[in-house]
Copies of this chain bind each other. A is one copy, B any other.
Amino acid sequence: MKTLALALALALCHFYQLSAQEHEHRSAQPLSYPDIEGYRSLKTDLHQHTVFSDGNVWPGIRVMEALRENLDVISLTEHLEYQPHKDDIPHPDRNRSYALALEEARDHELLIVHGSEITRSAPVGHSNAVFITDANPLLAEDAITAFKEAKKQGGFVFWNHPAWHAQSPQGTPILSDFQKERIANGELHGIEVINSVDYAEESLALALEHGLTIMGTSDIHGLIDWDYTEKGNHRPITLVFAREKSLEALKEALFDGRTVAIYNDLWVGREAFLLPLLQASIQVKSATYVPKTQVLKVVLENITSSDLLFENQMPYTFYSSSPVFRIPAMGSYTLQIKTLEALGSIRLRLKALGAFTAPRVQPVVEWEVEVP
């Protein structure tokens, strides 16, 4: 039967070549965010599932989805302990999902991070360990052992959906002694403030209080298209500010807390990164006075995949716009500023209403604009 299978494989690989070829053409919803001073802005989704735990698709689909959305990095973080398909996929080596993703991504720029999910009931809850070298030793009866092993491998570990109401009926994260110990031991480094469609302000507070890296992930089990795209959404991502596009630089950046979590027009991050990201996201295309007036037209361009919402914080008022205005993703908006006298330069001051540096704290961004 071997020969037959081989012959068939050769004939059928036509189908595979086809799908590989289509990787390039079909990035239906490519995401775009600008780099900031000193860093590449890497678009990552580090929490995903496939049939190798309780997801519904082969790892190859996750790679294709990421290519369509123009992500830079993904991780397939299968539950080590929960394997509903294990009768069909015995899966003795828990690194298998990673290996298959790596193979599928071989001819592409997409980076694959080796990761796994450590899954327990409350109060331990769920955590992802990424940048591990071997998933198998993490499969331990005792969660403490799993975290120790992750640390031993140099893994970056983050707490998943701490506010998940299936584990915390109030929908708020409860920082137990377990987490406190892990943090104290250097075994827990990040926390999801956005998981799938859920943003928890309390998780952001924990991140800030305990110096945890701010994360946003899709936690996808089914299809990105069905859960996000066809509803008009992009999947949540963590934008990571790395010195270059490499796994090493990404890891360093995650340990250093250089992230912003993004879900559509919701941006959550430390001010040190959110502010420069917002500044880089809006480009001033032109600034000219309406002839014979003191009304300055400033054309702003949003070069990101998120709609951005702003509120005027300047002493000046606008000529033809509400003080609250939206610049659409990849679109532009013309402010008409009543400067009262002709100015040679102006400092735009706008509050980013959809961005948060702390619970209910929105950053005010400034742009220095020269009037030619």
Q: Which residues of A contact B (CB under 8 A)?
A: 1, 4-5, 7-9, 11-12, 14-16, 19, 22, 26, 28, 51-52, 54-58, 60-61, 64, 79, 81-85, 88-91, 96, 100, 119-121, 141, 163, 165-167, 169-172, 197-202, 221-223, 225-226, 230, 265-266, 290, 292-295, 309, 311-312, 317-324, 336, 338, 340, 353-354, 356, 359-360, 362
Contacts and interface: CB of A to CB of B under 8 A. Distances in A.
Contacts of A226: 22, 26, 64, 225
Contact of A202 (B16, B61, B317, B324): B317
A322 B1 contact: no
Contact of A323 (B60, B336, B360): B360
Nearest to A6: B82
Q: Copies of this chain, how many?
A: 4
Contact of A28 (B230, B340, B359): B230
B9 A84 contact: yes
Nearest to A321: B199
B81 A5 contact: yes
Contact of A199 (B19, B54, B266, B322): B322
A316 to B, nearest CB: 10
A54 B172 CA distance: 43
A165 B295 contact: yes
Nearest to A90: B90
Contact of A5 (B83, B170, B340): B83
Contact of A171 (B58, B83, B338): B338
A89 B88 CA distance: 6
B321 A54 contact: no
Contacts of A197: 320
Nearest to A50: B58
Contacts of A198: 319-320
A363 to B, nearest CB: 13
A218 to B, nearest CB: 13
Given A81-B1, A309-B324, A354-B324, A170 B28 contact: no
B91 A221 contact: no
Contact of A317 (B265, B266, B338, B359): B359
21 contacts: A5-B82, A11-B121, A14-B166, A16-B54, A19-B56, A22-B226, A56-B61, A64-B226, A88-B89, A90-B90, A165-B290, A165-B292, A169-B295, A170-B294, A170-B338, A171-B294, A172-B317, A172-B340, A225-B226, A324-B354, A324-B362
